[in-house]
Amino acid sequence: MFQRGRCLLFAAVALTVAAAPVLAQGMPEMGQPKEMKTIQKMAGHFTCEFKYKMDPAGEWMTTTAEAEIENRLDGCVQFMLFSGNFGDMPMEGVSLTSYSRERGKWQMTWVDNMAASLSYAEGDMKDGKMVLVGKDMSMGQEMWMRYSTYDITDNSWKWTMEMSMDGKEYMPMGEAVYTRAGTGGNAAEKDEGGW
C-alpha cells in the first residue's frame, strides 16, 4: 500500500513538472483564428457549375449543384451543405473547413451520401490559393487527393480536385466555379454563431 502511494505521488509530481512550462505561458489563444476571416466572404447561397470524371481516363461530365455555406461556431468553422446530381444519382455532401492554430494548417473534412466515408485533407493558403492534400481510399486502393480553392472574390471562386496514386503526379478529377446566387448582401459580415 505504501509503495502504491509513493508511485502515485511520484506520478503527480512528474505531471506537475512536465506541465509547468505550458502553464507558465498562460492560456492559449481561443476563439476564431484570424485566418478564418480570409474565407468568411465565401458564406451564402451559391450555384456551382461542376465538371468531373468518374475515372482519370474517362470523359468529362458536367452538372450543376447548389451550396449553402455558413460561418459557424462564432466563425471558427465554415460549414457547407452541397446538393446536386451526379449522373442519375442525387448527391448531398457536407464539408467543414477550419484553421488549426496548433498545426498551423487549414483543415477540411468531407462526407457525402455516395461514398459514405469521411475524407480529411490539410494544407496552406498562399497568395490567395488554398491547397489541401489528404490520403483517401477508393475500391480498396489508397490514393492522394488534392483540393485547391482560388480566385476567391466576394461573389465567386474556383475549385479543383486532383487524384494521385503516389502523392507526386496528380490527375484532374473535378473542376468547379461557385457563383453567389442573387445579391444577398455582404457575406463577410454573416456569422450565424453556434450550430
Q: What is the pLDDT of residues 40-98, one digit of tens each?
A: 999 999 999 999 987 778 889 999 999 999 999 999 999 999 999 888 899 999 999 99
Q: Can you give the pLDDT at residue 186?
A: 40
Q: Which of 106, 78, 88 is nearest to 190 (CA)?
A: 78
| Strand boundaries in 26-185, DSSP class E | 44-52, 61-72, 77-86, 89-100, 105-112, 119-126, 129-138, 141-150, 156-164, 171-180
The answer to the question of residue 188 being in a domain is no
Q: What is the CATH number of the domain that holds 98?
A: 2.40.128.20
Does residue 132 contact residue 146 with C-beta atoms inside 8 Å? Answer: yes
The answer to the question of residue 164 being in a domain is yes
- Cβ neighbours of residue 147 under 8 Å, at least 6 residues apart? 108, 121, 131, 132, 133, 159, 160, 161, 162
The answer to the question of residue 49 being in a domain is yes
The rounded mean pLDDT for the chain is 85
Report whether pLDDT(6) > 90.
no
The answer to the question of residue 123 being in a domain is yes
The answer to the question of residue 91 being in a domain is yes
The answer to the question of residue 6 being in a domain is no
Structural domain boundaries enclosing 42: 34-183
Q: What is the pLDDT of residues 23-41, one digit of tens each?
A: 557 888 899 999 999 999 9
CA distance 173 to 165: 13
The answer to the question of residue 109 being in a domain is yes
Number of separate domains in the chain: 1
The answer to the question of residue 21 being in a domain is no
What pTM did the predictor assign? 0.78
Q: Tell me the pLDDT band of 21, cut-offs 50, 70 and 90.
A: low
